[in-house]
Amino acid sequence: MFDYIFIFILLNCFIAFFSAPTILAYFIYRYLKSKGWKIIGVVVFILILTYNIYYVYTAFYPEDRFYKGEFKRITGFELSDNAKVIKADASYPDFHGDYCSNALIQLSSEEYKEILKRTLDDKRFQNSEISDCRPTSEVISEYYPNIDVGLLRYDKMKDNCFIGFLDEEESIIIMIIVT
């Protein structure tokens, strides 16, 4: 019974949080319409509604910059602008902030070698067998057997930070399991 009440309350909070900007936009529209600025009111309403939809969408399906930020969190340095996120997946954080993030990133062979050298020289990383950090995503699992070098580290919060270098020498897999 408690589960149903909790889900009901959570759903209502979600609706209220995302409905508030839309309701505000509606009242702005009505005010502008009463002043004779109906078109401006419609434009304001559509802009706020579009932003709200975009905000919700990117919360569930993060953009590439999120995964590039995760790479920086794992390694401590930035990816070049030429790096491309090929496939990615992230779970939505739960109430405690726990989530999993996975990405397959394609690099130039020079950048791949530089990142491999820098992470192998980094004392925070330890070699990791494939079984030490299992994939949490179907998106990444198809590439997981091709990992040539796997490195794992735990950050200050004891989160699992994994980087895997694929044997083709142009792609890496990053995974973070935040607990």
pLDDT at 156: 76
**C-alpha distances out from residue 108 to 17, 115, 169, 171, Å:** 43, 11, 9, 8
Element (H, E) at 35: none
pLDDT at 97: 79
pLDDT band for position 63 (cuts 50, 70, 90): very high
118-131 tens-digit pLDDT: 999 999 898 886 54
State how far the Cα of 44 lies from the Cα of 26, in Å rounded to an integer. Answer: 9
pLDDT band for position 57 (cuts 50, 70, 90): confident
150-176 tens-digit pLDDT: 898 887 777 888 899 998 989 999 988
Mean pLDDT in residue range 6-25: 73
Higher-scoring residue by pLDDT: 174, 93: 174
pLDDT band for position 117 (cuts 50, 70, 90): very high
What are the extents of the domains in the chain?
A: 2-60, 64-178
- % of the chain beyond a pLDDT of 90: 26
Residue spans of alpha helices (H) in 35-158 = 38-60, 64-75, 109-121, 138-141
Q: 132 pLDDT exceeds 50?
A: no
pLDDT at 83: 93
Q: What is the reported pTM? A: 0.76
What is the widest separation between alpha-carbon atoms in the chain? 68
- % of the chain beyond a pLDDT of 70: 88
Mean pLDDT in residue range 31-55: 88
Residue-averaged pLDDT of the chain? 84
